Amino acid sequence: MRRFKPIALQDGIEAGQLTFEEYRDQYRTNERARGIGEVVDLSSTKGAGFELCEIKSISPLHLRISRSAGIMGIPYQELPKGIQDRFQFGEEEAANHQQVMNATLAQRNKQMAQWKKKKGALKAVEARKALVQEIARTEKEILQQENLAARHAASAAEWERKAVDLDRKAANAKSQGRISSNPGHARQARNRVKSFDRQANAARQISQRLSEELVELQKLQE
């Protein structure tokens, strides 16, 4: 996945193009994306055996890591202070995310209850066939959402590069005593960046929700 350059965000906030909240959100997105795949030491808070932890994913609630004992999630409150600060974990973001997850869980539980009821009304063979089809449909939709998130993220990165280039051209024109043909082009480009970022995050959230539903569906096969 293409990644933003932090300096571009800093230029944006200094130029007054981004609010603090927008800058913070973009910083979180960029820094957390860069952190995926890194190996970090969590032994200062988690103890022996956590010296070499590969970051698999980062959510507002936890760091999902892989180590010799397997894959697990570490609540952000149990992470070293330096890692909490780097990835900008905070109670407000965590509470908002938890609220969304609770609503999603309630909806999923309702759907699972309906599915189990429907399963009980079907003959065993028909129920299994329908379940297999639902699992296949869910897996396909997860892949579609992951691909969509990747495309939006790539578009955001491309527009960020355009914005940086426009800033450079405007600065060159100013240094030569010329007026940029349209100083608002860079701002418009960064608006496109924010739009694609929002769409990418929405697709990731849908993919995560569907992945959780897939686990529940697969349990019904047992």
- 163 in Cβ contact with 193 (< 8 Å): yes
- Where do the domains of the chain lie? 6-30+90-219, 36-89
- Residue with token string 């980062």: 58
46 Cβ contact list (under 8 Å, min separation 6): 74, 78
Rounded CA-CA distance 107/110 in Å is: 5
Rounded Cα gap, residues 30 and 178, in angstroms: 34
Tens digit of pLDDT for each residue in 184-209? 788 888 888 888 888 888 888 888 88
Residue 4 has pLDDT above 50, yes or no: no
Coil, helix or strand at residue 71: strand
Are 178 and 95 spatial neighbours (Cβ–Cβ below 8 Å)?
A: no
Q: In CATH, which of 1.10.357, 3.30.70, 1.10.3470, 2.30.30 is domain 36-89?
A: 2.30.30
Could you report the per-residue pLDDT of 163-182, keeping only the tens digit for each?
Answer: 888 888 878 877 777 765 56
